Amino acid sequence: MTPPTATPATAPTTAPTQATVVDRIDRVAGDVVAVTLRGTEGPLATWEPGAHIDLRLPNWLTRQYSLCGDPADRDTYRVAVRHDRLSRGGSEYVHRFLRPGRPLPVSLPRNHFPLLPAPRYLFVAGGIGITPVLPMLRAAVRAGVPAGLLYVGPSPDVMPFAAELCAEYGTVVRVVATRQEGRPDLGALAAGLDEDTLVYCCGPAPLLAAAAGAFPARRLYTERFRPSARTFGPDTAFEVVCRGSGRTVPVAADESMLDALTHAGHPLPAGCREGVCGSCELAVARGEIEHRDDIGAPAGRMYPCVSRARSPRLVVDL
């Protein structure tokens, strides 16, 4: 019988991983657990506030979570995971089936949400969007840079780390529970802000939209959980030439470049498949890329889960 060549996109990839073991799982809010991962092969890779890692879960799914621990701690990574009631299998797995003691490979940290130097900061976090903001606030306070945090959520019991933040940072932190207080007035907040303040916002789409309406774009940095609603031209077929293997892979109009490459035997890490996580990042040597991600790909790089080609072919490093 012919050996099978068709490969589903959940196939293992050769992307570099770090070996960790689940050290502990703590409930930090109604439907949020914090997972502490301990490196098992020496110090873990360094990271800066705003970075995230991919967890390669035992059910073959790859999911991205912001690092919310202390960058100075090289022994452990900490992430927080909200149980999504409409889970496609990632957060449900972490909540129901992940156990301390289990090995869990993770990616190297990636940072699409870096904290740039500034004389003062305002952090705006919604719900689980607090995770990348935690190390940012800590870094700013440690460096003695004036900073404030507006932390928005339905009620304090479902807002992870709310009590700890208030206890540790006092008046720097303002928690707004929308069920009692309604949504905060970001416009009023923006009006009272110093000109040189950088604003970092992470949270659900309505909060990001409100922030985009309130703060000047050049001073606002955001990170999304889900892609923004945008429209693109019709999908067309193109070819991908893999420099390493010398193979040419056709991408049909009705499939993603990521799926075409994976099915052709070039599996790439695949996380969100929505152009927000960056796990499938690929170097492009030649050809014109049509970027459709929400990250802002660096020059010569693309996210083939959503992005396609404007030219008939792309030459990639595979």
Partner 1 sequence: MTHTATRIRSVGPQEVRARLGLPDAMVASKKTDRLDDHFRRFIAHSPFLTMATADAEGRADCSPRGDYPGFVKVLDDRTLAVPDRPGNKIADSFGNLAENDGVGLLFLVPGMRETLRVNGRAHVTDEPDVLARMEAEGRRPVLAVVVEVAEVYFHCGRALIRSRLWDPASRALADEMPSVGEVFTEQYGLDVPPEVIERKLEDGYRKLY
Q: Which residues have a Cβ under 8 Å from the Cβ of 1 and sit 6 or more positions away?
A: none
Is the Cβ of residue 5 or residue 14 nearer to partner 1 in the bound state? 5
> Residue 267's closest CA among 286, 242, 291, 285?
242
Interacting residue with partner 1 among 16, 26, 97, 236 (CB under 8 A):
97
Interacting residue with partner 1 among 40, 46, 59, 236 (CB under 8 A):
59
**What's 64-122 look like in SS3?**
EEEECCCCCCCCEEEEEEECCCCCCCHHHHHHHCCCCCCECCEECCECCCCCCCCCEEE
Question: Applying CB under 8 A, what is the total number of residues that bind partner 1?
Answer: 29
Query: At which residue do the structure tokens 């050049």 appear?
Result: 218
In whole angstroms, the minimum distance from the beta carbon of 277 to partner 1 comes to 13
Is the Cβ of residue 60 or residue 183 nearer to partner 1 in the bound state? 60
| Contact call for residue 232 and partner 1 (CB under 8 A) | no
| Contact call for residue 230 and partner 1 (CB under 8 A) | no
| Contact call for residue 299 and partner 1 (CB under 8 A) | no
For 310: left if phi > 0, alpha if psi spans -120 to 50, otherwise beta; the answer is alpha
| Contact call for residue 93 and partner 1 (CB under 8 A) | yes
| Contact call for residue 8 and partner 1 (CB under 8 A) | yes
| Contact call for residue 58 and partner 1 (CB under 8 A) | yes
Is the Cβ of residue 6 or residue 72 nearer to partner 1 in the bound state? 6
| Contact call for residue 4 and partner 1 (CB under 8 A) | yes
Distances (CA, A) of 135 to 13, 17, 165, 192, 243: 30, 23, 11, 25, 39
Give the amino acid at 234.
P
Which residues contribute to the site for partner 1 (CB under 8 A)?
1-2, 4-6, 8-10, 58-61, 86-89, 92-93, 96-97, 255-256, 259, 263-264, 270, 273-274, 305
